[in-house]
Structure 1
Amino acid sequence: MPASTESTASSDENGYDVIGDVHGCAAPLTDLLNRLGCHVNQSRGAYEHPTRQAIFVGDLVDRGPAQLEVLRIVKGMVDAGSAQIVMGNHEFNAVAYDTPSPDGGFLRAHTEKNTSQHQAFLDQVDGDTRTEYLDWFTTLPLWLDLGGLRVVHACWHEPSIRVVVEVLGLNRFTSRDQFARATTKGDPLYEAVEVLLKGPEIDLVGHGQQRYFDRDGNGRSRARVAWWDDDATTLRALAVMGSNFKTIDGKPYPPLPGTEVEADDQSYSYRGDVPVFYGHYWREGRPQRGVDFTDRTACVDFSAVKSGALVAYRWSGEREIDEDHYVGVG
Structure 2
Amino acid sequence: MSVASLCRSGAAYKELNVNTKGYDLIGDIHGHADKLVALLELMGYRHDGVGYRHPDRQVIFLGDFIDRGPQQRGVLQVVMPMVKSGAALAVMGNHEFNALAFHTLDPHRPGQWLRPRNNKNMAQHLAFLAEYVSPNCKHELDDVLDFFRSLPLWLDLDGLRVVHACWHPLYIEMMETRTPHDNTLTPELLVAASTAGEPAYEAIETLLKGVEIELPDGGVFFDKDGHARSRVRTQWWIKKNSTLGEVCMPIDVLEESIANHPVAASDLLGYPESEKPVFVGHYWLKGQPTKLADNVACLDYSVAKGGKLVAYRWQGEAVLVNEHFCGV
Alpha carbons 1:39, 1:47 under 8 Å: kept: yes
Structure 2 unpaired stretches of 5+: none
Aligned partner of 1:278 in structure 2 is 280
Q: Is the 2:239–2:265 Cα contact (8 Å) retained in structure 1?
A: no
Change (3 A) 1:294 1:322: same
CA positional deviation for 1:9 = 6.1
CA distance 1:160–1:67, change in 2 (3 Å)? same
1:72 Cα deviation from its structure 2 partner: 1.1
Q: Which of 219, 227, 234 matches 1:225? A: 234
Q: Secondary structure at 1:298's aligned position in 2?
A: strand
Q: Aligned partners of 1:311, 1:264: CA distance in 2, in Å?
A: 33
User: Which residue matches 2:189?
Assistant: 178
> Any residues of structure 2 matched to 1:130-279 within 5 Å, and which?
130-204=141-215, 207-208=216-217, 210-231=219-240, 233-241=242-250, 243=252, 245=253, 253-254=255-256, 256-262=258-264, 265-266=267-268, 268-271=269-272, 272-279=274-281
Looking at structure 2, the residues matched to 232 and 296 of structure 1 have their Cα atoms a distance apart, in angstroms, of: 20
Question: 1:255 Cα shift?
Answer: 5.6
Structure 1 match to 2:100: 95
Aligned residue pairs, count:
314
- In the alignment, the residues of structure 2 paired with residue 158 and residue 175 of structure 1 have an alpha-carbon distance, to the nearest angstrom, of 20
Q: Is the 8 A contact 1:78 1:84 kept in 2?
A: yes
Q: Residues 203-262 of structure 1: CA distance to partner in whole angstroms, max 9, x if unpaired?
A: 00xx2252111121101100001112233543232222453x48xxxxxx3363444335
Tell me how far 1:48 sits from its aligned partner.
0.6
Match of 1:75 in 2: 80
Q: SS at the partner of 1:168?
A: coil
The one-letter code of the counterpart of 1:216 is D
Aligned Cα RMSD in Å? 1.9
Provide, for residues 28-77 of structure 1, a one-character-per-residue CA deviation record: whole Å limited to 9, x for no partner. Answer: 000000011100112xx110111010000000000011111110110100
Q: Does 1:36 align with 2:39?
A: no
Q: Which amino acid counterpart does residue 165 of structure 1 have in structure 2?
A: E
User: How many Å apart are 1:16 and its aligned residue?
Assistant: 0.3
- 1:116 paired to 2:123: yes
> Could you say which residue in structure 2 is the equivalent of 1:250?
none
Q: In structure 2, the residue corresponding to 1:313 is in which secondary structure?
A: strand
| Structure 2 counterpart of 1:25, from 8, 32, 48 | 32
Counterpart residue number, 1:249: none
Give the equivalent residue in structure 2 for 1:297. 296
Look up the SS of the partner of 2:130 in the other structure.
helix
**Separation of aligned partners in 2, 1:322 and 1:201:** 28
Contact 1:9 1:327 (8 Å CA) reproduced? no
Amino acid across the alignment from 1:193: I
Secondary structure at the counterpart of residue 256 of structure 1? helix
Q: Is the 8 A contact 1:143 1:171 kept in 2?
A: no
TM-score, structure 2 as length reference? 0.90
Query: Aligned partners of 2:214, 2:185: CA distance in 1, in Å?
Result: 33
In 2, the alpha carbon distance for the partners of 1:301 and 1:70 equals 16
Q: 1:134 to 1:9 in 2, by over 3 A?
A: farther
Q: For residues 263-314 of structure 1, give each alpha carbon's deviation from its aligned partner in whole angstroms, at most 9, with x where no partner exists.
A: 6631x211152000000000111024xxx52101000000111110000000
Match of 2:309 in 1: 310
The amino acid across from 1:307 in the alignment is G
Separation in structure 2 between the aligned mates of residue 134 and residue 265 of structure 1, nearest angstrom: 37
Q: Does residue 324 of structure 1 match 2:328?
A: no
Q: 1:3 aligns with which of 3, 7, 16?
A: 7
Moved more, 269-278 or 141-150: 269-278
Aligned-partner Cα distance in 2 for 1:56–1:227: 21
Q: 1:325 to 1:231 in 2, by over 3 A?
A: farther
- The CA deviation at 1:200 is 1.0
Identity of aligned residues (%): 43
